Chains A and B, each alone.
Chain A
């Protein structure tokens, strides 16, 4: 059973702090990794994708991938109240159709 695990939270951080979101996955055959943000009542929106070990930065967001540890994380610098949402980690295990396995999501709350 291929699984993606996330701490459900809620994770609460003060405004301006760094929020760190973590995700582990079960299958070493995984090829691509994604972070989505989902506001309440809305559909997920893509934040970042990462395919290689190491860090990938995009603005205030940094994704980190460690395939040896089967671990992917998302750092949000200078957190803002507007970042309050549920963050979904998704993993492509290499299926021919690109199916993603989603974690249950971590709810982030940024306090002003």
Chain B
């Protein structure tokens, strides 16, 4: 149980284009999903917290207009990197928890983004 998937697993795009990453909870309903970014040899950095049906909460220093988050259903959250630049190249990982009775976060497999 508690399986989280991400799509795509990797993507290469040209500078200036937008990239959408999907995060799905496969066997549970996720009231809250989290988006992290991890640069090589560094720890996870929380970008934003996504709640179903409401606006995402962004961490300090994360541009909400550049990283668009939509959590339209209890099983799907999307992160769109708009006008991507090479410095946005990173490993993007989502996680989800099952709700009020549990704060254990289960991670998706991650999406490696390379911006040329």
Hey, which bits of chain A sit against chain B, CB under 8 A? 31-32, 34, 36, 41-46, 49, 88, 90, 92, 97-100, 102-105
Contacting pair A43 B43 (CB below 8 A): no
Interface secondary structure of B, over-half rule: strand
Contacting pair A98 B110 (CB below 8 A): no
Give the docked Cα–Cα distance between A103 and B44 (Å).
8
User: Nearest CB to that of A99 among chain B residues?
Assistant: B49
Contacting pair A43 B110 (CB below 8 A): yes
Among B103, B107, B109, B110, residue most surrounded by chain A Cβ atoms (within 10 Å): B103
Question: What's the nearest-Cβ distance from chain B to residue A90, in Å?
Answer: 8
Contacting pair B43 A46 (CB below 8 A): no
Q: Which of B42, B104, B110 contacts A49 (CB 8 A)?
A: B104
Give the docked Cα–Cα distance between A46 and B43 (Å).
15
How many chain B residues touch A (Cβ–Cβ < 8 Å)?
A: 20
Contacting pair B43 A44 (CB below 8 A): no
Q: Which B residues lie within 8 Å of A97 (CB)? A: 32, 49, 51, 57
B34 within 8 A of A: yes
B97 within 8 A of A: yes
B114 within 8 A of A: no
Known contacts A43-B109, A43-B110, A49-B104: A98-B44 contact under CB 8 Å: no
Q: Within residues 52 to 68 of chain B, which ones have a CB less than 8 A from any CB in chain A?
A: 57
